[in-house]
């Protein structure tokens, strides 16, 4: 599975209006705490990979869910497209203990609030990331790498429909942006 994603820094006000015009369906609003891990045998920052435990809580009530995710290196120079494998876990603390037991160390934590909308088969996410700013992500999933270019083109069109400039896209992850800010 490939996650095809484009991300820009943007104010959410105008985007919300355009989402209404695009007949977007609001799916959910959540708070996410993502803990990223580094491997004992290589640096994921150097290999452009990511391993995380995500704890997610709905803003409108409800219980926490936890997911374990591996993201491979980016597959193109025009987006944040990566091969991705994700699974739910019943106990986030136990999953973290398994990773620590295997020699993985927590590297950093990213905290954000997200509103997610569906526009056809694609998704638009309005993110407010602690310590950074507000962002808009458009994304979809495809089964095969050969489907990535068409999906990326469709997402570029969606960004434009939302009044955003795809040329201002950011390929750096939130983790990378936070780490860059901490070095400055």
Positions marked active-site: 36
How far lies 130's CA from each of 1, 109, 163, 168, in Å? 29, 10, 24, 21
Q: Tell me the residue ranges of DSSP E strands in 75-168.
A: 82-89, 105-119, 122-129, 134-142
Secondary structure letter of residue 162 according to DSSP: T
Give Cβ neighbours of residue 98 (< 8 Å, ≥ 6 apart). Answer: none
- Report the distance separating Cα 128 and Cα 29, nearest Å: 11
How far lies 55's CA from each of 23, 29, 43, 64, in Å? 29, 14, 23, 7
- The H or E element spanning position 184 is none
HEC profile of 86-107: EEEECCHHHHHHHHHHCCCEEE
């Amino acid at each position: 599975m490939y996650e095809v994603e484009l991300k820009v820094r943007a104010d959410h006000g105008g985007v919300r209006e355009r989402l209404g015009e695009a007949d977007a369906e609001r799916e959910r609003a959540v708070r996410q705490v993502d803990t990223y891990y580094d491997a004992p045998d290589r640096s994921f920052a150097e290999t452009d990979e990511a391993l995380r435990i995500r704890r997610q809580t709905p803003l409108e009530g409800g219980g926490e869910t936890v997911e374990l995710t591996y993201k491979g290196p980016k597959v193109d120079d025009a987006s944040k497209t990566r091969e991705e494998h994700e699974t739910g876990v019943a106990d986030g603390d136990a999953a973290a203990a398994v990773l620590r037991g295997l020699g993985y160390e927590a590297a950093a934590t990213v905290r954000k609030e997200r509103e997610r909308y569906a526009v056809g088969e694609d998704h638009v996410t309005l993110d407010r990331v602690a310590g950074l700013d507000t962002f808009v992500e458009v994304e979809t999933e495809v089964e095969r790498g050969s489907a990535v270019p068409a999906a990326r083109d469709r997402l570029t069109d969606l960004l434009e429909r939302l009044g955003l400039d795809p040329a201002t896209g950011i390929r750096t992850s939130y983790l990378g942006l936070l780490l860059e800010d901490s070095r400055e």
